[in-house]
Structure 1
Amino acid sequence: MAVLVMVGLVLLVVLPLIVSGVLYAVAVVVYKRRRRAFEARRAEALRQFGWSYVAPDPWLAELASIAFPGNGQPVSMATGWFNGRPVAVMDYEYSMQTADGRGNVSSSTQACHVVAVQLPVALPWLRLTEESRLGRIRPRDLQLESPAFNDAFRVETPDDRYASAILHPRMMELMLDNTWFDWQLAGPTLMSWNLNHWEAPETAARLSVLTRIADLLPPFVLRDYGHRLA
């Protein structure tokens, strides 16, 4: 009887360790498989677009740190051309800390990315984001002649006249066809962003809209508000 009790106690101690070890080994295998699949998709995307990895650009990393909360850093960056314009896409990760009611603090890491089109001049800051319920109860943002556009988007800029020049009827029509799309102008960078590491289909969709926005920037805006790059 004593032997059986001892065996039972040993099993109670050892079995959880064995199960835990097996689960850990399975998790490692699954992670490695997913990582290999991701790297294969990434390699195919770079080949498809004709892009190559470069060192992360500090300016784009700074813009990413504004777009996403928490402490972050760039992971990798690729550059090339899309629809006749120079572009960049950067994987970025940031960490956030949360505390529960007992004062326990936990940290988590979120993968995200930014997609950018390089412009020939540096322009003032402008940010266009999807309007939210919270946004509707805050002080009103810039109001344009399209009620549908005003209901769909929030416009933030230090210069309303400048924003009105950029958001002309054709630009607003483009955005109303893409109400899922947030973007920002800052210096020579026209940028959009999203969670998770970038994948080819979604990146191509974002760059298609970004390059169209760049095409619709009025020449007088580039001339009157732009500063030539050194």
Structure 2
Amino acid sequence: MMKQIIKYATLMASLGLAFQANATIFDFEELTDTGIGEISGQLANGTSFAMGNPSESAFDYFDWTKDGITLRAMGATTTGAAWAYLDAKSSGKGAGLGVCSQGLQGSNQCDPGDDDNVTIGEILKITFLESVAINFGQTTFRDADHDIHFPDIEISLDNGSIWGALDLNSELVSDTFFFRTQTDGNQFYIDALTVKDATVPAPAALSLLGLGLAGLSFTRRRKS
């Protein structure tokens, strides 16, 4: 009997991977330009930012929770600190999340103004509280001119120790995603990320597991 239960549990756990919950879209352009979404964190000037919509701003870090998934965004350079930067539309074209590293002007605005995407020597750090799967085939990037972009960039899934080319058709699982570029022609913003929780079996799979165990129990009663 116990062997049968273990067999069913293993089968249902594998089915859980096929019945993942619906994906969550973290749309940084929408966050900045429309006021939809709430984040909290610390602005680049050290001021706390609590539960609101920021418009275009530089952050030491910010946290954004949607559908029970919490994302943290930060910026860095290869030699030190930088800011995560939420950039607004320009000439009617969307932007999204980049990095500012040279300086600030006004109210947490990047200076110079064109240093707000991810350029050579900068690292965009996106981390999660638990492991998630990011579908890069459904992730939108933009270039320095805010046009839709398919950049050749590098990714690290281990806090920056090992880097490799990002396959834009891949789905990768981690709790840490670092991004960088090695060429000016591949500067980028992340417009939106498509994310799924990779740690919890979907309810449908859990229901099937319950039905499987109930069936085993029923079979045992009939035989007794």
Structure of higher RCO (CA pairs closer than 8 Å, 6+ residues apart): 2
Length-normalised TM-score, structure 2: 0.26
TM-score by length of 1: 0.25
